[in-house]
Amino acid sequence: MKRKYTLGSGFLFLLIAGVVGYGIGLGLDLLATGRPHFSAPVPSAFTILFAFTAFFFGIYGYRGITRGLVFQIAGTLAGGFLITGIRLLMGLQAFGGFFFTEPAWVLGGIVGAVSFLFGVGVMSDWVKWARGIDTPEFHEDEPGWEKYLGVSLDHKVIGIQYTVTALFLISVGGLFALIFRTELAASGLQFLVKDMSLFGQNGPQLYNTLMSLHGMIMIVSILLGISGIINYVVPLLVGAHDMAFPRMNAFAYWIAVPAAVLLLMSLVLGGFDTGWTGYPPLSAKAPVGMQMFFLGVFVAGWSSILGALNVIATVIRMRAKGMTAMRMPILVWASVATSIIALTATQLIGLSFQLVMFQRLLGMGFFDPAKGGNPVLFQHLFWFYSHPAVYVFVLPGLGVISELLPVFARKPLFGYRWVAMSSLGIALVGFVVWAHHMFTSGMNEYLRVPFMYSTLLVAVPTGVKFFSWVATLWKGKISTETPMLFVIGAIFVFLLGGLTGPPNATVSTDLHLHDTYFIVGHFHDTIFGGFVFPFFAAIYYWYPKATGRRMSEFWGKVHFWLMTPSFLILTFGMMRIGLLGMRRRIADYDPALGFDFTHLILTICGFAIALSVLVFIINFFRSIKHGEKAEGNVWNSRSPEWQVPSPMPAHNYEQPFEVVGEPYDYGLPGTKYVEFAPAKSGRH
Amino acid sequence: MLHFVVVGILVIVTAILAYFGVNILWPLPLAASAQAAPIDWMWNLQMIAISFLFALIVVPMLYSLIVFKRKKGDASEGEHIEGNTRLEITWTILPLIVVLIFAYLGAGTLADTRRVDPNAMVVKVTGFQWGWKFDYPEYGISSNELYLPVNQQVLLKMESRDVIHSFWVPEFRVKQDLVPGRVTELRITPTIPGDIYKVRCAELCGTSHAFMENPVIVVDDAGFSAWVAEQQALAAGAAQTPEGRGQALSVANGCAACHSIDGSGGIGPTWFRLAGSEVQLVGGATITADDAFLAESIKEPQAKIVAGFESQQMPAYGFTDEQIADIIAYIKTLR
């Protein structure tokens, strides 16, 4: 008899395993240190890992993600004990303040992540091929929700897996933000005080960890979010039956899960206090959580690189007949541009973090001035990825804006070629601007001027996009359903992000603005305008395609009208106090600066945004069953995916289509973008 | 055509309103250095451009949303306009020119903030976790407060003892990181006397980064000379007694950044009434804070850790035995 899995049994298992894990962790900690630490890192780590795994066991059984997590825990312990055993034999210290020593945690982390991949089953086909066993080209998924918790090769399933994981991580990162935002509501330390201790950290240290993890978890969730949209939509837009490499596609998704686990483990293993940038020498001195953070980012980078490779291969090789470069949907252009950056730059952040990892483990003084190393070199390596990464985050979102605007304005996209080329232009210029993050870093001071010129050049292709969007709206027949509201919001917020950029790019004004809340407000504008708003727009827009139902319009509008004003006040306020002297990344601020009232307002706005996202998440899950049925061309779009019924069949289009016109010729009667081949008779 | 006229007028009106709005919403702090002037001039120019560009995009967008909104039941399509190459070239070339002009002006204002006065007074700045120390080599004094004479350029030669820090006094505008293993420079000419300023570390440097703020005091020439004389006299007097030398060492090494001298909380145990008191250690044991314990705690901070201070390690400082005795003598005076 098939077992019935429910949320109830999930939470029951979560509770039991949490208690068991806490007991084991406390016991091990007691063995290693001789004293019980009730809120110490080791019991906390065991509690969280066990509870998380047991939850999936309760709702899903011992397969897929549950098996992966069990393998990851076993692998982490195996790797850790291996190093511990070797250290014992060598007569070195075997146990440290976090039960394992740092090298043991690092190897444990690596073995754990690899074990996860074997456990979840994403390597099974490759292992079989290596052993000479054939596997079928397609694996049929079972109907229902259970396929989302195991390995699927269907790009649509993987797209939804990415999207839901991104939403989960956005919630976690947002929760961290709410915690430290509450601490900032008034000057003086309120609850993250100096004499508290949680996960081996005092209040200001925990503040630093939460603030740093907020950054990196949000970055990973953005990378997963854009992968979600690209994975789901791009094969449909180009008329492919799947991505070019379905197994690699699944691999790229599943490797992000152990990466997220590693990142969250850094919180309990002593944390780290460097911000997401991890500048040495500070990162060379931080607790062992720093290493978990480095590993997590390193592993997540694989997801980004392999995903990008797949997108480029799919777009180059698998386009429908007649889809020439200049007839591709604009989102496909944006996806290619973003993938070029992700494929070629991500290595640098992995490399820079790996060098610090080696500096800590093996004493290699890459960035240690005492050994002839150079701390500023790290910043160059780091920003060579991390600046272009910003364009990885926003280009797909700008693509979504350009894709959706014509549908809701009922007009062609103004200057299609210019918009397409501006994506590539931003991507290419984006590679030569990294040092604008380092105007005060002590790098060669004359180099600052050419980097100022190159950075300001980004404004030109970005401006082309804005002008084209406005011209697309001009004389349209504009309707404002929820997806369009978020598109408008995205343009407005991204405009504010764009306009507040040049003062940071200009060296003289940046000398004042650098490392202040002005920067914090500026980049939250760019990320919300370039990713968050378009991400929500895309979900509201393609939700009927995936489920055959629409999300509630009413709650969608509540989401929009709650989030947008709160967010605008939040970033305007951040920029205001930043100009007046509020530094970034501080747990507390001088009451003499008089920022208490503004910070209180910002905290209230932060909670309002969280509430609006909660409204969205409830709407998202509720509409799966209760949404209004929407199986046809809901938005009256010319795009191929809307010419077939929703939800999309397993292998996409029953009949191939041919491109016979322009993608956005709204308002030109008698034209079509695609034409489907006639159905073959006798086919089921 | 009417649409363009209306939008054109609205753009100009909105741009002017936006510029005033920005000035109210985003004021700059007091400009108290010669270097602040070119930066504030540049900022103002940018705000003019930003206000105009904001209006240029937002006004036609909102106008379209209102005027070209689909009426209920209207199923017709918008006007079929695919693009306009001449327009595209215009809004590529014009912004390009504007951007180049702004970059040129940006380089010019940067040069203004770097203007060198060959007679600048040198102050050696040391940043450490978590505080600042200022040495005046011309006068042979050091202090945790940065005293500066008004209207005279000061050349800060900055070093870090541990991790990257960043020197920033918001009222002086300019900012420069302190990088371990090298000396970075910053030139400041304070223009307004006062004791309202603080140097605030702008680069995340660990646990107490938020509290790495030391006073900056700008005084007139007479005031500065008086302060120098006072400091020199104090230093000369202090050098005669062990507790005086201990206090000087404490200032030079920034001990108070972690160990308060008035009993308030900190990253490390307070020094107030510490000597001779009963101290609870990690693990439950208690010990009397006698000379031997204090000396050991300075030499080998990890040997015995006071309960409640497990999460932050104190670095080793490499004091000689005489210096340690001086510091202990100073600690004993704090009660």
Tokens for A284, please give them.
Answer: 């060379």
Cα A181 to Cα A186: distance, rounded to the nearest angstrom: 10
Per-residue pLDDT tens over the stretch A251-261? 999 999 999 99
A369 touching B (Cβ < 8 Å): yes
Provide the shortest C-alpha distance from residue A611 to chain B (in Å). 26
Across residues B252-263, what is the average pLDDT?
80
Report pLDDT for B311.
65
Mean predicted lDDT score pLDDT of chain B: 90
B4 touching A (Cβ < 8 Å): no
CB contact under 8 A, B50 and A500: yes
Across residues A211-216, what is the average pLDDT?
95
Q: Are B281 and B307 spatial neighbours (Cβ–Cβ below 8 Å)?
A: yes
CB contact under 8 A, A442 and B179: yes
Tokens for A567, please give them.
Answer: 């967010």
Residue B83: left (phi > 0), alpha (psi -120 to 50), or beta?
left
Collect all residues of chain B within an 8 Å Cβ-Cβ radius of residue A488. 61, 65
Nearest CA in chain B to A444: B184
**Chain centroid to CA A394:** 12
Q: Is the model's pLDDT at B305 over the cut of 90?
A: no
Across residues B150-179, what is the average pLDDT?
95
Across residues A294-305, what is the average pLDDT?
94
CB contact under 8 A, B100 and A584: no
CB contact under 8 A, B78 and A477: yes
H-helix or E-strand spanning residue A159: helix A155-183
Three-state secondary structure readout of A408-473 = HHCCCCCCHHHHHHHHHHHHHHHHHCHHHHHCCCCCCHHHHHHHHHHHHHCHHHHHHHHHHHHHHH
In a mutagenesis test of the B interface, which of A183, A432, A439, A512 is the best target, namely the one with the most B β-carbons within 10 Å?
A: A512
Across residues A57-68, what is the average pLDDT?
88
Report pLDDT for A684.
45
Highest mean pLDDT out of A1-15, B189-203, B225-239: B189-203
Cα A36 to Cα A39: distance, rounded to the nearest angstrom: 9
Helix and strand totals (H; E) in chain A: 23, 6
Per-residue pLDDT tens over the stretch A559-571? 999 999 999 999 9
- A103: cis peptide before it, omega within 30°? no
Cα A577 to Cα B51: distance, rounded to the nearest angstrom: 20
Q: ∠ at Cα B170 (B167, B173), nearest 5°? A: 80
pLDDT band at B256 (very low <50, low <70, confident <90, very high): confident
Mean predicted lDDT score pLDDT of chain A: 91
Three-state secondary structure readout of chain B = CHHHHHHHHHHHHHHHHHHHHHHHHCCCCCCCECCHHHHHHHHHHHHHHHHHHHHHHHHHHHHHHHHCECCCCCCCCCCCCCCCHHHHHHHHHHHHHHHHHHHHHHHHHHHHHCCCCCCCEEEEEEEECCEEEEEECCCCEEECCEEEECCCCEEEEEEECCCCEEEECHHHCCEEEECCCCCEEEEECECCCEEEEEEECCCCCCCCHHHCEEEEEEECHHHHHHHHHHHHHHHHHHCCCHHHHHHHHHHHHCHHHCCCCCCCCCCCCCCCCCCCCEEEECCCCEEECCHHHHHHHHHCCCCCCECCCCCCCCCCCCCCHHHHHHHHHHHHCCC
Q: Are A459 and B97 spatial neighbours (Cβ–Cβ below 8 Å)?
A: no
Report pLDDT for B71.
87
Report how far apart, in Å, the C-alpha atoms of A632 and of each of A144, A537, A636, A646 are. 21, 19, 9, 6
Cα A657 to Cα A648: distance, rounded to the nearest angstrom: 15
Collect all residues of chain B within an 8 Å Cβ-Cβ radius of residue A476. 64, 68, 78-79
Q: Is the model's pLDDT at A410 over the cut of 60?
A: yes
Report pLDDT for A683.
46
B310 touching A (Cβ < 8 Å): yes
**Chain centroid to CA A355:** 24
Stretch among A28-42, A477-491, B61-75 having the lowest mean pLDDT: A28-42
Cα B168 to Cα B288: distance, rounded to the nearest angstrom: 42
Axis-axis angle for helices B36-67, A459-473 (nearest 10): 20
Residues 6+ apart with CB under 8 A from B309: B267, B268, B269
Provide the shortest C-alpha distance from residue A411 to chain B (in Å). 5
CB contact under 8 A, A449 and B110: yes
Side-chain-side CA neighbours of residue A557 (13 Å): 4
Report pLDDT for A337.
94
Q: Is the model's pLDDT at A1 over the cut of 50?
A: no
A614 touching B (Cβ < 8 Å): no
Across residues A424-452, what is the average pLDDT?
92
**What residue has token string 């754990």?**
A112
Q: Order of strands across the sheet with B154-160?
A: B141-143, B131-136, B121-128, B154-160, B184-188
Report pLDDT for A646.
87
Q: Is the model's pLDDT at A682 over the cut of 70?
A: no
Across residues B239-249, what is the average pLDDT?
83
Per-residue pLDDT tens over the stretch B63-105? 999 999 988 888 888 888 888 999 999 999 999 999 999 999 9
Q: Per residue in B161-192, is it b (16+ CB within 10 Å) or e — as a string?
A: bbbbbbbbbbbbbbbbbbbbbeebebbbbbbe
Q: Is A246 helix (H, G, I), strand (E, B) or coil?
A: helix
Nearest CA in chain A to B103: A453
Three-state secondary structure readout of B176-191 = EEECCCCCEEEEECEC
pLDDT band at A393 (very low <50, low <70, confident <90, very high): very high
Nearest CA in chain B to A569: B25
Give, as one character, the DSSP assignment of residue A91.
Answer: T
CB contact under 8 A, A473 and B65: yes
Q: Percent of chain A beyond pLDDT 90?
A: 74
Across residues A215-242, what is the average pLDDT?
95
Cα A10 to Cα A149: distance, rounded to the nearest angstrom: 13
Report pLDDT for A210.
95
Better pLDDT: A174 or A270: A174
- A143: cis peptide before it, omega within 30°? no
Cα A229 to Cα A539: distance, rounded to the nearest angstrom: 8
* Identity of the residue numbered B149: P
Q: Is the model's pLDDT at A2 over the cut of 60?
A: no
Closest C-alpha among A127, A126, A137, A163 to residue A148: A163
Per-residue pLDDT tens over the stretch A122-136? 999 999 999 999 888
Query: Residues 53 to 72 of A: which have CB under 8 A from any B CB?
Result: none
Three-state secondary structure readout of A168-210 = HHHHHHHHHHHHHHHHCCCCCCCCCCCCCCECCECHHHHHHHH
CB contact under 8 A, B175 and A511: yes
Highest mean pLDDT out of A54-63, A132-141, A318-327: A318-327
A190 touching B (Cβ < 8 Å): no
Q: Is the model's pLDDT at A114 over the cut of 50?
A: yes
Across residues B25-49, what is the average pLDDT?
95
Per-residue pLDDT tens over the stretch B113-136? 999 999 999 999 999 988 999 999
Provide the shortest C-alpha distance from residue A618 to chain B (in Å). 29
* Identity of the residue numbered B146: L
Across residues A649-674, what is the average pLDDT?
90
Q: Are A568 and A490 spatial neighbours (Cβ–Cβ below 8 Å)?
A: no
Report pLDDT for B30.
94
CB contact under 8 A, A205 and B312: yes
Residues 6+ apart with CB under 8 A from A573: A521, A598, A601, A602, A605
Across residues B168-185, what is the average pLDDT?
95
Nearest CB to A588: which of B91, B173, B210?
B210
CB contact under 8 A, A409 and B78: yes
Report how far apart, in Å, the C-alpha atoms of A229 and of each of A77, A152, A309 are. 36, 17, 16
Report pLDDT for A556.
96
Report pLDDT for A670.
86
Query: Residues 370 to 399 of A: which have CB under 8 A from any B CB?
Result: 370, 374-376
Across residues A40-61, what is the average pLDDT?
84
pLDDT band at A103 (very low <50, low <70, confident <90, very high): very high
Query: Residues 239 to 298 of A: which have CB under 8 A from any B CB?
Result: 273-275, 279, 281-282, 285
B270 touching A (Cβ < 8 Å): no
pTM equals 0.91
3-class SS shares of chain A: helix, strand, coil, % to 5: 70, 5, 25
In a mutagenesis test of the A interface, which of B1, B156, B209, B302 is the best target, namely the one with the most A β-carbons within 10 Å?
A: B209
**What residue has token string 């040129």?**
B104
Tokens for B60, please give them.
Answer: 């036609």
Axis-axis angle for helices A7-33, A41-60 (nearest 10): 160
